[in-house]
Amino acid sequence: MRRIGNFTAFFGAEDVLSNWHPSRFTYHDVEFNCVEQFMMYAKAMLFDDHETGSKILESQSPKRQKELGRDVSGFDEDTWLRSRESIVFVGCREKFRQNPDQGRVLGGTGTTILVEASRSDKIWGAGIGQFDPRITDPTKWPGLNLLGYTLMRVRELLLRQ
């Protein structure tokens, strides 16, 4: 995690804010090892693909979970676009609620703008690295930074509670 003015950039499984960071939590009696697993499992369930959902739960690797999530049967882009942010919001909320040490790290980012500094992810990330000079100018990001903005909503919720 790197603080640059009013921005906090994060990237990689070692970073607590990452969906790939090891973080056990339970939701509706299902245990997850990270938010990536939660997101890909919820994606499979959204499209009623129980076989892929089971494989995602069996996997301990966020990379493999993501690969499995790309192969969900019955996938519909419009349905996913309408659902993806609320799914990740729930996963992040549960991760940080059920893991207080990690929740304190999120809360410790204060009011900074959270940026997933992933050069390769232009949906969940900003599409640039944390040392890119554009990191503090959202108008110059090639990516949407959906994870960063979702984490900011989770942070706000947890700080109010």
**pTM, 2 dp:** 0.95
* Residue 30 β-bridge partners: 27
Structural domain count, the chain: 1
Domain extent, residue 151, equals 2-160
Task: Give the residue from 129, 133, 153 showing the smallest Cα distance to 10.
Answer: 129
pLDDT at 25: 99
Contact status, residue 65 vs residue 36, Cβ threshold 8 Å: yes
How many Cα atoms sit within 13 Å of 15 on the Cβ side? 20
Read off the pLDDT of residues 81-111 as tens digits, 9 standing for 90 and up. 999 999 999 999 999 999 999 999 999 999 9
The torsion angles phi and psi of 3, rounded to 5 degrees, stand at -95, 130
What's the mean pLDDT when you consider all of the chain?
98
The CATH number of the domain where 128 resides is what?
1.10.357.40
Read off the pLDDT of residues 37-50 as tens digits, 9 standing for 90 and up. 999 999 999 999 99
* For residue 161, pLDDT beyond 90: no
pLDDT at 34: 99
